[in-house]
Structure 1
């Protein structure tokens, strides 16, 4: 939780940003007067024009397989989480809260790549202690765009993009500074009934000559995300969510130096922190080992980064490249999970755990593009790559009474140790793509090829050597892969683009999949497998992008085959050293996922509009015929609305099919239908102000998200249900 000094610092930063905006506003007025005087004297300073880049797709997202959500859409639809994003705008995107990962087309965890400003946010795989995730370590209020890339495209994105990629871009000064202005800002306040959270954020950008600066900060305080259960109390009958309190804050600073020759140099500093305390009432009972008030949990996430940024856009035909982008960075991501409790019957006494998973990395990534002709052929060649070195660290610390009063139960209490060695990692990738067209004709093909290489080097530590299963340092692993791609597009009409793509994907095993070593003789064992092979895939997709903002849509069909799909199996120990069984990471030989995605929208001249989307995917193990539980069932969304220049409203219907009985999920989530009602108002008397409000799950339906209910339940099913009827309201003021 934030202490008083941290809160004072955040308040001071918010006050500074607000005062900066007022000061810059005054400076703008003064500068305007001075400029007028200068013009009279024939002295005019020409400033580089800042252009809003939010709608552009660059790098990984430069593909017809990507869709984009803008900062305005994030605000207008009150999107503050991945759950919000997948509810209406991107129904094929899900978020698994049990492991903290995005799910696209049935793949999640380390199989979906997440980047922020060109820097990969690693998915932390803790292995056994639930300190997983970390890819949601950012504030949605700090974003300018989100690009969702569907399907494997390792030729551009690199390893880890088997399911797709989430490409995040934070606010830039030009996103806030309007045409003809030298400053701009945005202030946001929101209440969300899902977790009774209240928060606000402020962003201000100012420009002097060719230098621009941006400050953004946010703070939110909330509670537990509600279930739709109504049974309180303690122990295994509880269906209400366990009480929780969390604090979330973020700070973002950017400085950009523009030049008249097309070069832009920048510095970015970012920090995100979320601390959550949970009263684990479901694990407490009047006569059990943990009595009421004696079991608290914590769940924390922190990410920090510093980066040097470079962008280039050619201003004449003599430049070596037409555009380029690069970033050099340091980043650290930390996930913490733990408990603070007191035992009353078994191993009596104080009990605490703090489980840590950390990834610290240094790296660089970027690309250059060049347009040129060879005879009748036009080329757009892109050359890019990345390099990163990092250290992955896992550790569990804690206290209990085992040292003072050993008992048989102590064999199950593993702490003050590492479940895997520290691992030094190196990653390198380089790719080349050439988009080739015949003159200005409608046909184009874009062959691409990427080479990836990785190396893991386990390091002995005292904490790892304290592991009761320690049997020496496991071997390192290295590997490489070539990932080709061929994309073809056809501009059938001005607003009709057809495309087809074949692409190969690649993912190296995570360090926990290789080196996890959790358990103890006499109990159970959960281990990685240092002989795992990297996952590979072949993906085929055809689709079309149609129309414009007033009338259009997109449709796609895909089929993906995966080799050496990494999973786990549980079996009995033939030597009976681990009588509770052994769980080990394995490669599945053949897995497939196929499906279709459709979306369409129409805006009528009388103010009415309609939007619809459908996402369907089906995945199974081709050898065992098991249906993959990670693949979300069929989902359809229909939105009907009306809008004027100053207000509007939307009615949104969502329908989801039940989970297949053949699914590997322990709980077969039933199908459901929901209705949401939202509205907005922009008062004419207050330019730049927008008020959004919504009632979600209007009829208080009890339902379950299949992606979040794959594991075995320990509580009644309602404990794992989604929120019932909730309310949300937000205010956004732009300057």
Structure 2
């Protein structure tokens, strides 16, 4: 702890001398550059996220939350209703959203699905220092994204050369130094980027980023520590060839490799029987693509992708490799009094899962999948102040997914699923929108749930006369997909300096996949069991007065549920949570001091009768564009070092200072 604290203190001191430089060049703007617009998760079209017919939150790289993050938990822990399970270890992080666990929340990295599934390990691996933006879209989105998008979609986008090049620049370099006291972590990322215009009118651009960090034991809330010794190496290589205004070829390679010594279950706080394992986790995502943009309202993007995750331990290995092709696009049509916005696409992939050594619950199997989708939004009408009844949007969409899985024993599973979506929005003025919609979603069984047949755990004796035999997985190739039907209604309203977004959802879920363990029969298998009723709300209120150097916001979320068969409550899957913040701009956008408060009322621990206490946590943060070439972000989390728990019963973060200093030339 002392090593990281002293080093982060040294990083903070680096900020003081350049202040004179910043003051020596008055009048020169040092505002953070604006990010280029992206296709919005949840609509697959360029849309104002505020007026999208669902709750979408966006975190960009200039936010201290992302700028100082070393784990996904650092990025997403402040999102109401979104929880990161685990004890702070990168390869033990899983997400839950709107009552669905990691299998019901789709994670995408630069558009590539991340979904390895094995035991208690996480299902995605990424280095936050390489990210430019994170979009969190809540709700049933299988009509656009297929399997797993039951509670929502989390999209991570990595940085491009154009994000770092300032106006007029053709090349540059950026060195970022970061540190975190909670796990004695120190790291650095060096980025090289350039753009070159060619004689024929085309242009080339590229980026190469190399990252390295070292971390130790993790300090959780209340001062408890959990063992960890990890090193992370990351690489991001991107290139693009802008052939013309209409056509662009692009390629990228994102590499992640973490070598760690940690408990067998990385989500455990303490070591079980002194068991520490050497675990190497590697993830590679490669893609080659073409983007065609013939008009500002038309785009077609086609990608060939290769994703591979390897998890190696002393006597076991797990590898998932997915080769896919996808083509997604949008197009807007004007018919005079009626306009149409189309989102469409096709996808196909082949995934192979290969175990090695004594790997358990990770069968040798393949799965082929294919999908096509179409979403059509019809817009008609005029605003009330223009003599009309308001603008109306009618959205109709559907996606058809099919998959065929087979293991090394020849056992097959062949299924298909249709995910429809219907929504209606009314905009009486340009500042107010009311919407309501219905959507169905699904989650296909994993290869492990379908075909696992090796030993699960060894036998043991509970007493002198009661012994339990070895336990073995039992395949279930007839396992059905999980499904859900959701209604969601909400509003988006801008009034003066205020903005309000809110939604209420009601979900009926069927055929949840659960693990059935029979100790005395010595079997474990995946089965379709309970039916659930989930309901809750999300709300966001923000305040940005034009005449004052302050901005503020408040976010609320809650998810409740019950078992539809027994009527038993499922507990507060997400207790009533609030995130509130206030930012004071001390020197315009160049220097911003912020406060964040996170609050939750007492709630029932998931899967247990225990009641966990509510909490109130406070963070402070600083974002400083010291000069046009030097920036810094500081964040002190859980200032009072309060002990608190997430809904799954895991301890949350303790007090931690996170820092990032970036120099660009």
TM-score class, shorter-chain normalisation, is: 0.7 to 0.9
SS in 1 for 2:100: coil
Tell me the distance in 1 between the aligned counterparts of 2:218 and 2:609: 22
The equivalent of 2:316 in structure 1 is 355
Shift in alpha-carbon separation, 1:665–1:85, aligned structure 2, 3 A: farther
Which residue of 118, 123, 127 corresponds with 1:126? 118
Shift in alpha-carbon separation, 1:106–1:371, aligned structure 2, 3 A: same
Which residue of 215, 219, 243 corresponds with 1:222? 215
Given that 2:81 and 2:559 are in contact with CA atoms closer than 8 Å, whether structure 1 keeps it comes out as: no
The equivalent of 1:493 in structure 2 is 429
Which residue of 442, 449, 469 corresponds with 1:506? 442
C-alpha distance after superposition, 1:677-706 (max 9, x if no partner): 2223333xx324222223222222111122
The alpha-carbon deviation at position 428 of structure 1 amounts to: 0.5
The alpha-carbon deviation at position 611 of structure 1 amounts to: 1.6
Tell me the distance in 2 between the aligned counterparts of 1:245 and 1:305: 25
The equivalent of 1:408 in structure 2 is none
The equivalent of 1:431 in structure 2 is 373
Structure whose CA Rg is larger: 1
Which residue of 436, 440, 452 corresponds with 2:401? 452
The alpha-carbon deviation at position 184 of structure 1 amounts to: 4.3
Name the stretch that deviates more: 550-559 or 479-488: 550-559
The alpha-carbon deviation at position 630 of structure 1 amounts to: 8.7
Confirm or deny that 1:86 pairs with 2:76.
Answer: yes
RMSD, aligned α-carbons: 2.8
Tell me the distance in 2 between the aligned counterparts of 1:151 and 1:697: 29
Which residue of 466, 486, 509 corresponds with 1:539? 486
SS in 2 for 1:160: coil
Given that 1:672 and 1:703 are in contact with CA atoms closer than 8 Å, whether structure 2 keeps it comes out as: yes
Shift in alpha-carbon separation, 1:666–1:222, aligned structure 2, 3 A: farther
The alpha-carbon deviation at position 311 of structure 1 amounts to: 1.1
The equivalent of 1:479 in structure 2 is 415
Structure that is richer in strand per residue: 2
Tell me the distance in 1 between the aligned counterparts of 2:172 and 2:608: 49
SS in 1 for 2:596: strand
Aligned residue pairs: how many? 592
The equivalent of 1:326 in structure 2 is 302
The equivalent of 1:725 in structure 2 is 655
Which residue of 703, 713, 725 corresponds with 2:644? 703
Tell me the distance in 2 between the aligned counterparts of 1:366 and 1:572: 47
Structure 1 unaligned residues grouped into runs of 5+: 1-49, 231-239, 285-289, 339-352, 398-415, 460-472, 710-719
SS in 1 for 2:484: strand
Tell me the distance in 1 between the aligned counterparts of 2:177 and 2:615: 32
The equivalent of 1:247 in structure 2 is 231
The equivalent of 1:68 in structure 2 is 58
The 5 A counterparts of 1:599-638 are 599-604=540-545, 605-628=547-570, 631-638=573-580
Tell me the distance in 1 between the aligned counterparts of 2:251 and 2:42: 20
C-alpha distance after superposition, 1:484-536 (max 9, x if no partner): 10122222322323222211101111111112233468233444532211111
Tell me the distance in 1 between the aligned counterparts of 2:290 and 2:348: 16
The alpha-carbon deviation at position 589 of structure 1 amounts to: 4.3
Given that 1:626 and 1:664 are in contact with CA atoms closer than 8 Å, whether structure 2 keeps it comes out as: no
The 5 A counterparts of 1:455-470 are 455-459=404-408
The equivalent of 1:674 in structure 2 is 617
Shift in alpha-carbon separation, 1:315–1:86, aligned structure 2, 3 A: closer
C-alpha distance after superposition, 1:242-281 (max 9, x if no partner): 4321111211111101122411001212211111113899
Given that 1:434 and 1:446 are in contact with CA atoms closer than 8 Å, whether structure 2 keeps it comes out as: yes
Structure 1 length as normaliser, TM-score?
Answer: 0.75
The equivalent of 1:652 in structure 2 is 596
Tell me the distance in 1 between the aligned counterparts of 2:544 and 2:34: 28
Given that 1:668 and 1:706 are in contact with CA atoms closer than 8 Å, whether structure 2 keeps it comes out as: no
Confirm or deny that 1:335 pairs with 2:311.
Answer: yes
Given that 2:69 and 2:658 are in contact with CA atoms closer than 8 Å, whether structure 1 keeps it comes out as: no
Given that 1:610 and 1:640 are in contact with CA atoms closer than 8 Å, whether structure 2 keeps it comes out as: yes
Tell me the distance in 2 between the aligned counterparts of 1:181 and 1:490: 44
The equivalent of 1:379 in structure 2 is 340
The 5 A counterparts of 1:237-316 are 240-278=224-262, 282-283=270-271, 295-315=275-295
Shift in alpha-carbon separation, 1:728–1:418, aligned structure 2, 3 A: closer
Confirm or deny that 1:159 pairs with 2:147.
Answer: yes
Given that 2:263 and 2:271 are in contact with CA atoms closer than 8 Å, whether structure 1 keeps it comes out as: no
The equivalent of 2:168 in structure 1 is 180
Structure 2 length as normaliser, TM-score?
Answer: 0.83
Tell me the distance in 2 between the aligned counterparts of 1:723 and 1:369: 41
Structure 2 unaligned residues grouped into runs of 5+: 1-32, 46-51, 198-202, 383-389, 460-468
Shift in alpha-carbon separation, 1:245–1:263, aligned structure 2, 3 A: same
SS in 2 for 1:156: helix
C-alpha distance after superposition, 1:348-372 (max 9, x if no partner): xxxxx53332210110112122222
The alpha-carbon deviation at position 195 of structure 1 amounts to: 1.0
Tell me the distance in 2 between the aligned counterparts of 1:118 and 1:143: 13
Confirm or deny that 1:443 pairs with 2:392.
Answer: yes
C-alpha distance after superposition, 1:317-336 (max 9, x if no partner): xxxx9211111011111234
Which residue of 172, 179, 182 corresponds with 1:191? 179
